């Protein structure tokens, strides 16, 4: 081999070693960018399932309106007698306290997670807002409100980032199987919005329904702002989303039993479902004249468009309760045609509230039937926790019971 070829071979070998080194660094467990460590996402234990005692507890967090998570983000609608000083950090503290007090199995954030118009960096605000949930190691999911996208990221970018955060089980769009329309020859259908997805909750470990879905959690993107007939209004859930919802619900009609624990006692009806989204539907104002549990303190800020969400839920038959946000000082539950509609109540201190009316969160508890051999869901309950000295528990009620 002459010296020229030897030099070429040596250079080629060096080039290969350099490529190998860069590839190893790129696919290592940690990347170092601008002196910041970027970690691979930490995933929760999946699938979601009831505890061994036959319970599944959800914490709903509505309207955090998080800014930058610093001491300068002053609170709204609090008295000096309530707090010596109040900022975004009080929202963080409340979330940590309630996770510790209630020990939920799952956390559902129902929009306006950040206050986009006053958040200089949407990604930083999201990480700070969801920080306590990520630190807890609990599975959590989120939908967007009408303020989240007002900062530096679009709705698609926000949901993409949320889906990649530690312990998040959020999805940008439904799974491909759920978007396949058999009536159109198996064609994929487009769906409006970002953050439409279904999470299945399985039965308690070792039970006859351990491998069956016993509770469904539907998440929907209710949009932000839109123009309808020349008038600016709030967003609404679109027909494509409702079509997807119907298809997913129908899949659970007469779901197969666990082959390892067959039993005639397992119902072939669809498992109960809960729905989570941000903007209330136009039927909610009717509850002002109905019996409610909680407080109706402000006008319902819904869309001018009635897209048939309520009729869809009624026709599906499996949605037992719907959990919304948007109107911070409404925290009531009211029943329309057998479906409960519940506000979470304002959670965050940088969003508007009401002086001497503590920020709050909603708890949802589903219980399976039976004692040692847990069966299908028997009962769904709810209550609220206040951010006061006693973390007061109020307005406990039963939302649904199996017959």
Q: Distance between CA 203 and CA 377 in Å, rounded?
A: 9
What domains appear along the chain, each with residue ranges and CATH number? 1-40 (no CATH), 45-401 (3.60.21.10)
User: Which pLDDT score is estimated for 72?
Assistant: 82
Q: Which of 291, 308, 288 is nearest to 299 (CA)?
A: 288
According to DSSP, residue 18 is labeled H
380 pairs with which residues across the strands? 366, 400
Contact 159, 149 (CB under 8 A): no
pLDDT given for residue 185 in this prediction? 60
With CA atoms as reference, report the closest residue to 347 among 120, 167, 137, 107: 107
- Calculate the CA 376 to chain-centre distance: 23
Residues 6+ apart with CB under 8 A from 196: 171, 173, 174, 219, 220, 221, 241, 244
For residues 105 and 69, is the Cβ–Cβ distance under 8 A? no
Cite the DSSP H helix spans in 228-379.
239-251, 309-316
Distance CA 272, CA 266 (A): 14
The one-digit pLDDT tens for each residue of the chain (403 residues) are 555 555 556 565 666 565 555 444 444 434 444 455 567 899 999 999 999 999 999 999 999 999 988 878 899 999 999 998 999 999 999 999 999 999 999 999 999 999 988 888 999 999 999 999 999 999 999 999 999 999 999 999 999 999 999 999 999 998 777 777 666 666 667 899 999 999 999 999 999 999 999 999 999 999 999 999 999 999 999 999 999 999 999 998 765 544 444 443 444 579 999 999 999 999 999 999 999 999 999 999 999 999 999 999 999 999 999 999 999 999 999 999 999 999 999 999 999 999 999 999 999 999 998 876 788 999 999 999 999 999 999 999 999 999 8
Cβ contacts of 309 within 8 Å, gap of 6 or more: 236, 237, 242, 281
- What pLDDT score was predicted for residue 25? 45
Rounded to a whole number of angstroms, the CA Rg of the chain reads 24
Give Dmax (Cα) for the chain. 96
* 8 Å CB contact between 130 and 164: no
Contact 238, 220 (CB under 8 A): no
Residues 303, 279: contact at Cβ < 8 Å?
yes
The pLDDT value recorded for residue 341 is 98
What pLDDT is recorded for position 5? 58
Measured in degrees and rounded to the nearest 5, phi and psi for residue 67 equal -105, -110
DSSP 3-state percent helix, strand, coil across the chain (nearest 5): 25, 25, 50
Beta-strand pair 197-202/48-49: parallel
What is the spatial distance between Cα 216 and Cα 58, in angstroms, rounded to a whole number?
A: 12
């Amino acid at each position: 081999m002459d010296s020229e070829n030897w030099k070429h071979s040596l250079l080629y070998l060096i080039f290969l070693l350099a490529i190998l080194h860069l590839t190893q660094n790129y696919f290592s467990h940690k990347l170092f960018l601008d002196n910041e460590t970027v970690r691979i996402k930490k995933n929760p234990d999946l699938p979601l399932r009831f505890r061994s005692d036959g319970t599944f507890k959800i914490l709903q967090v509505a309207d955090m309106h998080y800014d930058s998570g610093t001491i300068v983000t002053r609170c709204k609608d609090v008295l000096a007698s309530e707090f010596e000083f109040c900022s975004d950090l009080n929202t963080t503290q409340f979330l940590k306290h309630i996770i510790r007090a209630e020990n939920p199995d799952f956390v559902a954030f129902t929009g306006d997670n950040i206050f986009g118009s006053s958040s200089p960096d949407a990604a930083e605000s999201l990480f700070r807002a969801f920080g306590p949930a990520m630190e807890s190691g609990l599975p959590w999911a989120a939908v967007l409100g009408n303020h989240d996208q007002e900062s530096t990221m679009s709705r698609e970018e926000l949901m993409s980032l949320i889906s990649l955060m530690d312990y998040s089980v959020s999805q940008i769009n439904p799974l491909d199987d759920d978007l396949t329309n058999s009536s159109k020859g198996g064609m994929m259908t487009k769906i409006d919005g970002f953050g439409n997805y279904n999470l299945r909750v399985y039965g308690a470990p070792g039970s006859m329904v351990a491998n069956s879905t016993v509770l469904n959690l539907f998440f929907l993107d209710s949009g932000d702002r839109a123009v309808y007939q020349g008038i600016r209004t709030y967003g609404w859930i679109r027909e494509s989303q409702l079509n997807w919802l119907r298809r997913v619900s129908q899949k659970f009609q007469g779901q197969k039993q666990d082959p390892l624990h067959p039993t005639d006692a397992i119902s072939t009806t669809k498992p109960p479902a809960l729905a989570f989204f941000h903007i209330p539907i136009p039927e909610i104002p009717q509850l002002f004249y109905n019996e409610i549990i909680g407080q109706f303190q402000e006008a319902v800020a819904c869309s001018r468009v009635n897209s048939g969400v309520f009729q869809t839920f009624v026709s599906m038959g499996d949605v037992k309760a719907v959990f919304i946000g948007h109107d911070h000082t409404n925290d009531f539950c009211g029943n329309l045609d057998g479906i409960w509609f519940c506000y979470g109540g304002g959670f965050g201190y940088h969003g508007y509230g009401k002086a001497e009316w503590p920020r709050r969160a909603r708890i949802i508890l589903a219980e399976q039937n039976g004692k040692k051999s847990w069966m299908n869901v028997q009962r769904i309950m709810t209550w609220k926790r206040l951010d006061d000295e006693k973390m007061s528990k109020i307005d406990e009620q039963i939302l649904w019971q199996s017959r």
